[in-house]
Chains A and B, each alone.
Chain A
Amino acid sequence: MSGSGFTSPFGANSNPFGSARLDTGGNGMQRVAEEDENDTITSPTTPNFGQGTGNVFRGPFGSDSSETQQHSNPRGPPVAEGYPAQYNFGRRTSVSAESLKPVGDSLDNWTPPVHSKTPDQLARLKKAISGNFLFSHLDDEQAAQVLGALQEKPIPTKGIKVIIQGDAGDFFYVVEKGSFDIHVNSSGTLQPGPDGMGPKVSTIEAGGSFGELALMYNAPRAATVISAEPQCTLWALDRVTFRRILMESTFARRRMYEGFLEEVPLLSSLTPYERSKIADALESQKFPAGYTIIREGDPGHSFYLLESGEAAAYRSGSDDDNTPVKHYKKGDFFGELALLNDAPRAASVISKSEVKVARLGKSAFQRLLGPVEGIMRRTKYVGVKTGVEDMDPLQAH
């Protein structure tokens, strides 16, 4: 995106200096070079700094043009030692995607589109996107929804331009079948004429993908991609669908966490803002059935919320070691006294089915909100020692 399309209400071309800067948002190297060429005359882009009043430091633009002339390159392109090669020193423009509001916020309903795929296709797709940093951090549900939302796009003939350099980009593509050539025209956009695509820079085969920047925001395409053979097939995913899938699931999970946290007596005095911060720090973990999530006698470092599945607490020395002292289902929590102290766990908690838990480490809690004791002291827990004891069967007596 650039500001070139802007038309001001003051009307056209009233640049008071009668000289347009060629390059406003782009290549700063070029800009600096231009200034150097212009040094002998007074360039409007290099105002005569240094003649101002009371400079503490020497003017950043050098003191005067004659001096600048003597040292031929005193403020030339800073490509010298220590600078990253080809670093662009120009002004950087902002980027922005369309604003998205989670539907959880409103009354609309949104479900991601599902385009059915064979298990083979799914497996190939999974492989194709697995190495991509935009997908690698997705959880299972998100990944499944994203895979489902990819839509098949047959490209029947050779020579079809799937994306055009310089055009707006809204889709990301995975190549299912066939191959595609990538061309880059150095002008930044597709030009008319036979060579308008510019030279070919590479080829993408089945399993490859292109156009991922479009999943972040609408930026002009950096290349033209054209089918290199007949009968190609692509999978396409648009930005809004992709971002929505991520947003809706994250939003829903955070609200769920906040809801759970609200039920924890130890944390009842947290403000919504603080609960939200804690929700940020919760880590989701999955365990198979029969897994010992916390072990009696171990020092406690974490607190758990049960997101799905069931679990039970067992205590040695109870009447029957195999009879649980407590059952946990979705929304229940255990081990929260670990937030208070390092006392050994008073019971073991074992998953009864596959479970998903959200784990909060004591240290993360303290980093974000300080010691729990401080939080508790805010309200009703002041001095009510037994209240604390009652809260966690794992710490009893």
Chain B
Amino acid sequence: MAATVAQTQAIPPGLHPLQAAALRAANGGQQQPQHQSQQPPNRNFDDEPFDVTSRKLTVGDFVRVRTLGTGTFARVCLVRPSHGTEADRSKVYALKILRKTEVIKLKQIDHVRHERQILYDVKDHPFITQYVASFSDHDFLYILLDYVPGGELFTYLRKYRRFNEDMARFYAAEIVLILEHLHEQQGGIAYRDMKPENLLLDGEGHIKLVDFGFAKRLGNNESGHPVETYTLCGTPEYLAPEVIHNKGHTTAVDWWALGILIYEFLTGYPPFWHQNPIEIYKQIVEKPIIFPQDPHISDAAKDIIRQFCTIDRSRRLGNIQGGAAQVKRHPFFAGVDWDAIYHKRHRGPIIPPIRYPGDAQCFDIYPEEDASKDEYTEDLVEKYDEYFKDF
């Protein structure tokens, strides 16, 4: 059928028609929020319904609207289905695109495989980005996610400079529920990259955790496997001391990072900082957390930060007896209705200004141009492609 032909023509990287279509779609979206009424041109759309979960996808099933974010080896794009009924085509998704050669070069094969698997496993949690599908082609791996339109909490934090304690408590509470789920209900998933850059806001101002690139399923009560892992990963300011010292780390690293995060919420910057990363690490393993005079930070907030950022893991809140339940009982969370948090009974303290479903104005603009390409040679295919077969 016609659509299929159009699709296969659209797949090769860099092909102009697709790019043009994306451009036009995006420009249209800019000037004319009622994008449902416009169709990406140069195509014969049949009205055959297109359900993204019904079959194996290809990149030709989508047109790019724009880039939402870039990471170390991935680019995340806002995309729209390129065919289907009008309703299908008005949907938007976030497509995370990973170049196989980069994944191999940066030795992230394991991480990428875990990312896909764990996203799949934790689907349906209220505060985690929803996994839709994954697929791959010769050069790329793709993870299709629900689009989270509010942008990064990071952006809001930098603009506000800091959050007051009520705001910080709201976000921290949602994160506690995420960690409780990952660590306790999912049987020992360590997230390992908590930071404001990885917390997005949905339309109602609730958190959606993204980037499971470093998430790892460790052992738990039932499995007889070791529960610690050794690969150093994370973000410098947020690394736990045991990661820096390569002592073998566990889900306890996420509680440390939550302490750093609450500190950064309340002051606008993390407790350990230096231009030279080595100096950050030195501080993390050697220095106590110091609070500024201004802004004033309540004793309960200081206490929970210190309890999370405790080097001794047999004293670290969250890791000690009671786990997340103990965290919830800390005075910093006094008065929090955990059930209401879980069910999103209240809107968040920041409501992102979203004008229409595919609006991406809350995201920074990233250059769309692409640099060098390393070829994914037949040798590499032979050696590595089996690792990507789950996609």
Contacts and interface: CB of A to CB of B under 8 A. Distances in A.
Q: Do A and B come from one complex?
A: yes
A86 B275 contact: yes
Nearest to A2: B72
A247 B322 CA distance: 29
A248 B362 CA distance: 46
A366 B321 CA distance: 8
Interface in B276-301: 276-278, 281-282, 285-286, 292-295
Closest 9 CB pairs of A and B: A52-B353, A16-B26, A11-B14, A20-B367, A60-B159, A7-B370, A15-B368, A3-B70, A47-B361
Contacts of A1: 72-73, 106
A87 B232 contact: no
A84 B21 CA distance: 46
A8 B75 contact: yes
Nearest to A86: B275
A75 B195 CA distance: 22
Contacts of A134: 245, 281
A392 to B, nearest CB: 23
Nearest to A142: B246
B355 A52 contact: yes
A44 interface: yes
A116 B295 CA distance: 56
Contacts of A44: 365
B245 A8 contact: no
B372 A7 contact: yes
A14 B371 CA distance: 13
Nearest to B167: A57
B233 A97 contact: yes
B231 A99 contact: yes
Contacts of A274: 221
A94 B233 CA distance: 7
Nearest to A19: B365
Interface in A196-214: 212-213
A9 B102 contact: no
B326 to A, nearest CB: 10
Interface string A362-375: 00101111100000
A52 B352 contact: yes
25 contacts: A3-B70, A4-B371, A5-B372, A10-B13, A10-B22, A12-B14, A12-B370, A24-B364, A49-B361, A53-B351, A56-B205, A56-B348, A57-B351, A82-B294, A83-B269, A94-B233, A95-B235, A133-B286, A247-B248, A271-B221, A273-B220, A273-B221, A281-B313, A367-B320, A368-B319
A28 interface: yes
A254 B228 contact: yes
Given A6-B70, A281-B313, A15 B369 contact: yes
B71 A3 contact: yes
Contacts of A61: 159
A52 B203 CA distance: 11
Contact of A45 (B75, B213, B364): B364
Interface in A333-379: 364, 366-370
Nearest to B65: A16
Interface string B213-232: 11000011111111110111
B275 A93 contact: no
A217 interface: yes
B353 A16 contact: no
A70 to B, nearest CB: 18
A56 B314 CA distance: 41
Interface string B341-355: 000000111111111
Of the listed residues A83, A133, A222, the one surrounded by the most CB atoms of chain B closer than 10 A to its CB is: A133
Contacts of B74: 3, 6
Interface in B6-57: 11, 13-16, 18-20, 22-23, 26-27, 29-30
A339 to B, nearest CB: 13
A112 interface: no
Interface stretch (B123-131, B150-158, B381-389): B150-158
A78 interface: yes
A216 to B, nearest CB: 6
Contact of A99 (B14, B107, B282, B315): B107
A254 to B, nearest CB: 6
A246 interface: yes
A41 interface: no
A14 B350 contact: no
A59 interface: yes
A95 B161 CA distance: 25
Contacts of A17: 26, 30, 66, 365
Given A9-B97, A368-B321, A91 B154 contact: yes
B84 interface: no
A251 B365 contact: no
A272 interface: yes
